[in-house]
Structures are given as structure tokens and as C-alpha cells.
Amino acid sequence: MRNYFLKTMKHILLFFTLFLVCSCGLTSIPSEYTFIKNGFEKVELDKLGNGKVLIYNGADILHKVDNTSRLNIWIDDKPLGQLRASEYIIIDLKKGNYNFKVLHLDIVNIRSIDKIEIDDRTKVIKIKPTITSNKLTITNELPTNFDKFTYTEKK
């Protein structure tokens, strides 16, 4: 009887583990922005700024493992699209204040809204999911392992 109970508990635990890992896939949203790729075959900080802003997903290993690293992003209620872990995009934003709404799925929808001021010196924005929210930071520097990042295509 004890072996039957242990086998049953083992199967239930395995089922819930698989359910949690597989349930964190976020469907992508179509972008209404024009992505800039021409002239950026090799991304350098000198080419960014004056409205050309690189946005990347800086998710860490914990979010990559359970598939919660996908971020859907809206800028002033206009969909930018989805960034997966270690992906980046380059877009043209004029000077001004913007509301970045970021969503990732970690069993429940986790949303955050950040107000960001874009000026001539804004070059790089890092967005990453956290356990309870999303963190958006203007870093103006490329991540240390940027050679492993890929440019996301419009979905």
C-alpha cells in the first residue's frame, strides 16, 4: 500500500512540475513599429542615440529555464512585439516621455508600466522579467555577452 501511495505522489508531482513548466508560454503580439536593421550589421554604441534605441531582453537563467522570459511590450499603448531571452531590437523613438507596458507570464500575467524619457543620449534599454514584476533600465551600454544576442524579426 505504501509503494502505491509513493508512486501516485511521484506521478502527481511530475504532472504538476510539467504543467508549471509548460504553462508559462506567452503568445506573441504583432508589432506596429518599424524595426531598424539596415546599417546595423555590427551593433556599436556610436551608431545608437539621437532616437535610435536598442531594446533587449536581459532575462537571467532562471527565467530561461521555465520559459517565463518572453516579454510582450507596448510603448504608449502601441504594441512593440515580443522579445524572447537574449533578443534585441532597434527602433526609432523621438525625444519625449513614453509609457512602457511590459507583460510576462509566470503562472499568472505579470504586468508593469514604466515611464521613460527618451533624449539624444538614450541608446540602450534593458528589460528583464523578475519574480514579481518586470525591470526596465536605461543602461546606455551593451551587455557583456552581446555577441550571443540575436536580432528579433517582426512577428
Among positive and negative, which fits the CA dihedral 60, 97, 108, 71? Answer: negative
The rounded radius of gyration (Å) of the Cα atoms in the chain is 19
Q: Could you give the CA distance from residue 36 to residue 129 in angstroms, rounded to a whole number?
A: 24
Closest CA to 75 of 109, 44, 103, 43: 103
pLDDT (0 to 100) of residue 141 = 94
pLDDT (0 to 100) of residue 17 = 66
Domain boundaries, the chain: 2-151
Beta carbons of 30 and 155 less than 8 angstroms apart: yes
pLDDT (0 to 100) of residue 1 = 60
Which residue positions in the chain have pLDDT lower than 50? none
What pTM was estimated for this model as a whole?
A: 0.81
Q: Could you give the CA distance from residue 74 to residue 64 in angstroms, rounded to a whole number?
A: 21
pLDDT (0 to 100) of residue 22 = 55
pLDDT (0 to 100) of residue 10 = 80
Please tell us whether the domain made up of 2-151 is placed in CATH 2.60.120.
no
- Strand-pairing partners, residue 138, are 125
pLDDT (0 to 100) of residue 21 = 57
Q: Could you give the CA distance from residue 70 to residue 29 in angstroms, rounded to a whole number?
A: 11
